[in-house]
Amino acid sequence: MSDHEEDLPPVTDRLDGRVALVTGTGSPEGIGYATARRLVGLGARVGIVSTTRRIHERAAELGATGFVADLTDESEVGALNDAVSDQLGEVEVLVNNAGLASKASPEVLRPIAQLSLAEWQAEVDRNLTTAFLCSRAFAPQMAERGWGRIVNLSATAGPVNALPAEGAYAAAKAGVAGLTRALAMELVADGVTANAVAPASIYTAASTVAELKQGISTPMGRPGRPDEVAAAIAFLCSPAASYITGQVLVIDGGNSVREAIYI
């Protein structure tokens, strides 16, 4: 073992005392909520964010601290940065989960030729701009401390495959993958890693019948669960993932591997 290796911290999945921020955690059945719960269990001091005051109910359930912010708004992200620093301390772990569709804010489903500029911009803002603004706000303090984790929520749609009428969503999620890789290279010398997870069909409160059918058609024969995605995110947030950066982890029950469906 080299002298340099001897100086490295021990491999652990614990986050005791670390400050973590998880965005998009308003739904108790969503990936963000499951992730926040797991990070709390690993010892982190967790802040959670959504666009409505229901976040305070989620925070009370989790033992976390809730913040209300529109993460597509640059000024609100700046105010969030100040609020989190005041109440919890500087963020060391950032999970950019905001952007997934919900019943209150459904995904725009329209062929590209019929998509308005406003609809395109809304999908890109919700799924990509939020990750950009939060990463830009919180990455510098991680770099200054010499340690940090950024995990972004991409999707199989975009980086891996695409479906008709989801062009804006696919473009945004492919953009998340590109953003993740760029962050990884810009921050690697500062002890900060940046990775993404790319779920496919996950059974949440916002799941449509079509999405659930897609999950049933996977090699595993079912959609994924938020806890299964959260487990992968939590690992990438941990000190144990110290040699992983710039990666996109596909979580799709093997669907992208299968070449054809055999009956």
What is d(CA 162, CA 109) in angstroms, rounded to the nearest whole number?
Answer: 12
Contacts of 132 (CB under 8 A, 6+ apart): 179
Strands (E), the chain: 19-23, 45-50, 65-68, 93-96, 148-153, 192-199, 248-251
What is d(CA 170, CA 174) in angstroms, rounded to the nearest whole number?
Answer: 6
Which pair of tokens denotes residue 163?
Answer: 């479906």
Point out the catalytic residue in the list 169, 203, 243, 262.
Answer: 169
State the DSSP string of 187-223.
HGGGTEEEEEEEE-SB--TT--HHHHHHHHTSTTSS-
- The one-letter code for the residue type at 41 is G
- Asked if 169 is an active-site residue, the reply is yes
Catalytic sites, residue numbers: 169
